[in-house]
Structure 1
Amino acid sequence: MSDVYICQLPAEVQKYAAEVLNETEESRQNAFKEIKEWAASNQYLHVRTEEKYILPFLRCCKFNIERTKEKMKNFYVMRRERSEWFTNRNPNLSQIQQLVKNGSCLILKKTHENHLVVIIRPTVHDPKRHGMDDVLKCAKMILDIGVMEEELSQVYGVIVIIDMANVSFAHARQLSISRIKHMVYAWQNYHCRPKKMEFVNAPAYINVVLDVFKSFMSEKLRKRVTVRYDGIASVVNIVDKAILPCDYGGEDGSLEELGRYWNEKLRSYTDWFVEDEQYKADLVK
């Protein structure tokens, strides 16, 4: 894989990136050089230094070099500490395939106003068969591929739709306070920018759980959270109907079809996941 990034974004996207993210050809090259030097002097982090993997972090931080270093450090330390999410990410495992096909986490095939659209359904799995950490591992596998394949998402960010339909006490029990804290920390240190977090099909008591989530969020992320109580119909108010599955009143296939699509896509990245697992901080330091 080539280490060198060559920008092929449309002119209007490059203009937006320059105005909003401070990204220009010059700022990119200067930033790549500085981040690579930093990674070389902090080898215990085992940072991926290919430019295509550095760039999403820079864009998240609007090319603020020190913020980028901090986010990357947090990310690679997290990959070590959260081994339940970042080891044995084998898309051929039956538990991973079941969760993907069931649609625990899926990314729509088309963007909405250049935003990647992620649908998380944390209540469709059977809590007796799958732990929440398996669900989160699956979600991060899909997110990694989605952000890597759709470069527009690195510039414009991600819309996250969290469908709380049919939440049960057994599901709620899987959301311990420590796990919620780790989930929020992951969102805030991942290589993508959540522009909106929309909770849909929310039960009346969702604010009890949401207050715990919000207590660990930055003020910026808290402001991007919306809770909708009016069922499936509300989803078409978030993204274009044309790109939504029919399960949400849309026109682009079904969740079942999307699950099969992502199952096959993840399997095509089997070797990549094996190779990627080595990039995590050492236990020391």
Structure 2
Amino acid sequence: MSSADESICLSFCDSEELYIEELRQWILENPHLNAHRDDTTILAFLRVAKFNVETAKSKMRNYYIMRKEVPEWFTKRDPSRPEIQELVKLGIFLPLKKYHNNKLVVIIRTAAHDPRRHAQDDVFKTGKMVLDVAIRENFTSASVYGISAIFDMANISFGHYRQLTTSMIKRTVHAWQNYPGRPQHLEFVNAPLYINVVLNIFKSFMSEKLRKRVRVHFSGIESLHRVIPKEILPIEYGGRESTIKQLGEEWASKLIEYKDWFTEDETHKAK
């Protein structure tokens, strides 16, 4: 969010309960969505919508319909499943330990997995599981200040590109724009020269606001350091905060702590 957007969210702190109850009543009047009714989830959607209740309703509606229509991402989310543990430990989606300008920073390693071994749907599912937990663990940062996402394109191959069908790209962008804590900055690093071919497909499904948040770094990690302080990055990115392996193992363990939560969460989707 911009500074103005952050101020809007913070200014509603004293009246949050009233907005939460209004949106909860709407959820009760729309049982077909089978939406979460807890304060945390409702507040996340309100904050992303800058407390515009109608916008929050639209995002919630889209979100729970998506959970029904894309079972590949929102079912069988047991974090102890071997393929999920393996992907988390590979570091396909790594929330960092320190914030930047109060924003949650995540590194998405787009080519960390072997496309011959891992289905792209499993990669996206696992990433969303980590994101769900990261939002809950860093609630104010993710819901008020937003998420800075670093997409590392290093070692991306034709096999990785083949996994990204146009329909999958469209669903991915739809998820970004309706998730309760969407990225506020999309930084692409280690990008090949032909990245714009793929990015143009992504951008075709983005809102104008989200398109303006995309930035490509062709000059290596040093360019990223001008946007995200290297001190908060993993050692492999020139930083001082843990290694990719350490972060992956920590998040694999953290997801196991949420095993019961994932079981209950899976029941929430449109009917």
TM-score by length of 2: 0.95
> 5 Å matches for 1:1-285?
19-21=7-9, 23-151=11-139, 152-282=141-271
**How many Å separate the matches in 1 of 2:209 and 2:264?**
34
**Residues 170, 202 of structure 2: 8 Å contact kept:** yes
Percent of aligned pairs with the same amino acid: 50
Structure 1 residue 26: deviation in Å? 4.5
**Residues 202, 228 of structure 1: 8 Å contact kept:** yes
Structure 1 residue 23: deviation in Å? 4.2
Which ranges in structure 1 are unaligned for 5 or more consecutive residues? 1-14
**Residues 92, 108 of structure 2: 8 Å contact kept:** yes
Which 4+ residue blocks in structure 1 deviate beyond 6 angstroms?
15-18
Structure 1 residue 28: deviation in Å? 1.2
SS in 1 for 2:78: coil
Which ranges in structure 2 are unaligned for 5 or more consecutive residues? none
Amino acid at match of 1:232: I
**Residues 17, 23 of structure 1: 8 Å contact kept:** no
**How many Å separate the matches in 2 of 1:194 and 1:161?**
10
**Residues 236, 250 of structure 1: 8 Å contact kept:** no
**Residues 233, 248 of structure 1: 8 Å contact kept:** no
Structure 1 residue 18: deviation in Å? 7.4
**How many Å separate the matches in 2 of 1:102 and 1:25?**
38
Structure 1 residue 17: deviation in Å? 7.5
Bigger CA drift: 29-38 or 70-79?
29-38
**Residues 107, 149 of structure 2: 8 Å contact kept:** yes
SS in 2 for 1:191: coil
**How many Å separate the matches in 2 of 1:238 and 1:99?**
27
SS in 1 for 2:111: coil
**How many Å separate the matches in 1 of 2:4 and 2:44?**
15
Bigger CA drift: 117-126 or 219-228?
117-126
**How many Å separate the matches in 1 of 2:161 and 2:6?**
43
RMSD between aligned residues:
1.5
Amino acid at match of 2:200: D
TM-score by length of 1: 0.91
**How many Å separate the matches in 2 of 1:169 and 1:272?**
37
**Residues 23, 63 of structure 1: 8 Å contact kept:** no
**Residues 12, 51 of structure 2: 8 Å contact kept:** no
Change (3 A) 1:18 1:154: closer
Count matched residues: 268
**How many Å separate the matches in 2 of 1:175 and 1:18?**
34
